[in-house]
Amino acid sequence: MYLFTMLFAGLLCLVLGVLVKYGKCYWLISGYNTMSEEKRQRVDVEGLANFLGNCTFVLAGQMIISGLLFHCNRQLAAMVAIFSIFPFIIYLLIKAQRFDGNTRNTDGTMKRTTKAMIGFFIALFVVISIFIVLSARTPRVLINDKVLQIKAVYGLEIERDKISDIKLTVTPPDVVGKTNGFDLGNILKGKFRLRGGTAVRLYVNIGKPPFIEITTSEGLVIINLADPEKTEALFHSLIRCLRAD
């Protein structure tokens, strides 16, 4: 699912880059297409189009590579590829201003409004990066005499008396869609749909079996940890706790 998304995004960037750089489709350049004729006269549109075209080619490569790495379960390398996109976009935003005379004061310095816009995007990328890092962390599972808690983004509490079955399997969930959740390569957290229409709550890295399937009166929950041995240890710990009821 993530692979197809990143491949599509990468191919779209390639097409846009070709259209802007070689096809001279300047109307695709955000901001330029809404400028007055007077402001357009102060833009080096050919230089801007060439620069943006090259940048979209680089972005396309970053997206496609990150998708392929996640598909091959190279999590660390894939995360590096994803996070490299953010500083590159910041570089793109800053360097693109040199082609637009409207963003400069008469002495050649950058206008405050332009600096504020760049600062906003830097802050936005920092927030997005933090969210991705926190969301991709391995879930923590806690159990007490009343509930089983899954500490993660889209976390969940399951009352122990609602658990009817628990088993360990090496077969990854056959996910066909997301209802409301976090999806980053093999890392899935939240509400998803399995083939056949079954609703499921997932807290898994589907590239690292085994998986703990918990059947409850409210539906199916599947979890695993980053280390297969720790997943198996968690399974046996849950079995012991539930048998003690």
pLDDT tens profile 176-197 = 999 999 988 788 999 999 998 9
**DSSP per-residue codes, 164-230:** EEEEEESSPP-EEEEEEEEEETTEEEEEEEETTS-EEEEEEETTS--EEEEEETTEEEEE--SSHHH
The region of weakest confidence among 9-13, 101-105, 161-165 is 101-105
pLDDT of residue 244 exceeding 70: no
Give the burial string for 38-49 (b: 16+ CB within 10 Å, else e).
Answer: eeeeebebeebb
Q: Which residues contact 141 (CB under 8 A, 6 or more apart)?
A: 148, 149, 150, 151, 223, 225, 234, 238
**pLDDT classification of 1: cutoffs 50, 70, 90:** low
DSSP structure class, residue 106: T
Residue with tokens 């102060």: 42
Mean pLDDT of the chain: 89
Which conformational region is residue 77 in: left (phi greater than 0), alpha (psi within -120 to 50 degrees), or beta? alpha
Q: Of 151 and 245, which is predicted with more confidence?
A: 151
Region 164-181: mean pLDDT is: 93
For 244, the 3-state DSSP assignment is coil
**pLDDT classification of 203: cutoffs 50, 70, 90:** very high
> What is the pTM assigned to this prediction?
0.72
Region 167-182: mean pLDDT is: 93
